[in-house]
A and B are shown apart, each in its own frame.
Chain A
Amino acid sequence: MLQDQLDKLLQSILRAHEDGMDCESCNAEFECLAEQVAAGGDIHALLPAVEAHLTCCSDCREEFEALVLIIRAENGGLTSQLTD
């Protein structure tokens, strides 16, 4: 096991939270939460359980970040300039 794998393993164990929201229940919160975060809301204050899941689930994190990114771009009129 290489140093960086060991770090990853330890980090991953360390981040395993106790209350355990799963991917499905996390995903169910996405649309409301993403709108609030895109508008400047703080995920930690809004839904700490989702934040905890996103910290230890990179699949959900990647999807949530993409959703927020797109909503922000839409709100800023950026997506309509791209295709016709």
Chain B
Amino acid sequence: MIERTNEQWIADLTTSSAGQTQALQDLRERLQRGIFYYLSRERSDLAQLSTQELTQMAEDLAQDATLRVMENLDSFRGDSRFTTWATKIAVRVAISDLRRARYKDFRLDDVTAEDELLPAAANLNNHNPLPNPESAAERSDVMTKIDSALREALTDRQYQALEAVALRGVPLEVVAEQMGTNRNALYKLVHDARRKLRTSLEAQGLSMDYMMDLFQD
């Protein structure tokens, strides 16, 4: 593969000619190698796939990524190597795809404010019998306050989003899709929820340091 400067990449990719076909192929192959490296070295969740399956997967993802790069060519600012910028887009394409596959059965509607909290607060103490009944009572009291802060300070939407993202570790973009919003807006929503919750807890005299201490064994 020939080495190109940023200017050569852009020129080759935007001029209809045999040079464009070659540049597209070079770009796709480069992205495919990067994606394959990532899938095979870094993704233990894909360890059961054969080399052939991973190769096919990398090929499909690189194809999608190349199209995405071409659609966004105008937004390349030229402040990094072109291939780094293209790889950033490829990483996003690949990881988004993996996230969608992994969470294909996730339903945000299953996350509601109705379940979990209070009964599980008792659970917490059962699972962690404390030598000192005062700390048990203190914990239970704080749990109740956290529980009511979650219900009262947050809207249902904020609650759902925070629980899915922060507690269950569901990727933002999976949750965003089901909420009919985009990832960036959801990030802000979750961020606001965290801060609201923190303010609400602090207003009840519960500092973060105090709670971390109380629940850390």
Which one of A12, A22, A58, A73 lies within 8 Å of B194 (CB-CB)?
A: A12
| A47 beta carbon closer than 8 Å to chain B | no
Taking CB as reference atom, which chain B residue is nearest A79? B33
- Given the interface pairs A2-B127, A23-B184, A79-B37, the reply to whether A14 lies near B212 with Cβ below 8 Å is yes
The answer to whether A79 and B34 have CB atoms under 8 Å apart is: yes
Could you tell me if B81 and A35 are in contact, using CB atoms closer than 8 angstroms?
A: yes
Report the stretch among B9-17, B18-26, B103-111, B114-122 that lies at the interface.
B114-122
A20-B191 contact in complex given A10-B212, A14-B212, A79-B34, C-beta closer than 8 Å: yes
Q: Is B64 an interface residue (CB 8 A)?
A: no
Checking A31, A56, A58 against B80 with a beta-carbon cut-off of 8 angstroms, the contacting residue is: A31
Q: How far is the CA of A12 from the CA of B166 in the complex (A)?
A: 6
Q: Is the interface of B mostly helix, strand, loop or mixed?
A: helix
Candidates B35, B84, B195; contact of A34 at CB < 8 Å: B84
CB neighbours (8 Å) of B84 from chain A are 31, 34-35, 67, 71
User: Complex formed: what's the CA distance from A73 to B99 in Å?
Assistant: 23
Sort chain A's interface into a size bin. 35 or more
Contact string, B29-42, partner A, CB cutoff 8 A, digits 1/0? Answer: 10011111110111
Q: How far is it, in angstroms, between the C-alpha of A1 and the C-alpha of B37 when the chains are bound?
A: 39
Instruction: Give the interface SS of chain A, mostly helix, strand, loop or mixed.
Output: helix
- Interface pair B80/A59, CB less than 8 Å apart: no
Contact partner of A35 among B80, B173, B208, CB < 8 A?
A: B80
B205 to chain A, nearest CB (A): 16
Chain B CB within 10 Å, residue with most, of A10, A30, A62, A70: A70
A positions within 8 Å CB-CB of B: 1-3, 5-10, 12-14, 16, 20, 22-24, 27, 30-32, 34-35, 56-59, 62-63, 66-67, 69-71, 73-74, 78-80, 82-83
